[in-house]
């Protein structure tokens, strides 16, 4: 059986993220692995008539700061050390992949909510991470 030494949990800052973090922490404890936590703030497109622009720098920075504060508060509830908490800004999959390679992650854990109808036709973050990751990926059903 494979033993994991360093697990990265990528989560959203809502109740599903809390569930994913709780389950990832249990996995880390079972394997005696270190647990790192990542939240990615995606660029927010703003529609301006016919143009599609990215959010102004100050709005992006404000969102980053709010996300860092929320993530720190959530991780404090789970007694996760501050040096294991990471935030990034940009497209989700490349940010997860980059940090996983940087930290030499053995297992990436993220949430999966089944989609239905037209939404099921579009790529899911978890599928994209799975196809690009250089380590194991575990998608937890949270929906």
pLDDT at position 122, please? 46
Of 18, 40, 20, give the one whose Cα is nearest residue 107. 20
Q: Which domain holds residue 61?
A: 7-118+127-141
Q: Evaluate whether residue 1 is within a structural domain.
A: no
2 within some domain = no
Whether residue 50 is contained in a domain is answered as yes
Residue 60 lies in a domain: yes
The reported pLDDT for the residue numbered 119 is: 43
* pLDDT of the residue at 115: 52
- Residue 86: its pLDDT value, please? 96
Give the CATH number for residue 101.
Answer: 3.40.50.620
Count other C-beta atoms under 10 Å from residue 84's C-beta: 16
Query: Is 62 domain-assigned?
Result: yes
| Contact (CB, 8 A) for 6 and 52 | no
State how far the Cα of 32 lies from the Cα of 92, in Å rounded to an integer. 27
Euclidean distance between CA atoms 137 and 84, whole angstroms: 19
* pLDDT (0 to 100) of residue 19: 94
For the chain (length 143 residues), average pLDDT per consecutive 10? 88 92 96 96 62 59 89 96 94 91 95 56 61 86 77
pTM for this predicted structure? 0.80
pLDDT at 141: 84
Please count the structural domains in the chain.
1
- The answer to the question of residue 53 being in a domain is yes
Domain-embedded: residue 67 = yes
């Amino acid at each position: 059986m494979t033993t994991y030494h360093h697990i990265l949990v990528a989560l959203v800052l809502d109740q599903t993220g809390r569930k994913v973090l709780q389950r990832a922490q249990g996995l880390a404890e079972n394997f005696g692995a270190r647990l790192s936590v990542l939240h990615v703030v995606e660029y927010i497109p703003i529609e301006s008539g016919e143009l599609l622009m990215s959010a102004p720098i100050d709005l992006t920075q404000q969102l980053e700061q709010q996300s860092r504060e929320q993530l720190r508060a959530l991780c404090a509830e789970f007694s996760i050390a501050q040096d294991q908490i990471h935030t990034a800004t940009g497209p989700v999959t490349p940010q997860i992949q980059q940090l996983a390679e940087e930290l030499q992650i053995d297992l990436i854990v993220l949430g999966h909510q089944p989609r239905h109808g037209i939404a099921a036709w579009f790529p899911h973050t978890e599928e994209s991470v799975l196809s690009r990751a250089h380590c194991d990926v575990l998608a937890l059903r949270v929906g």
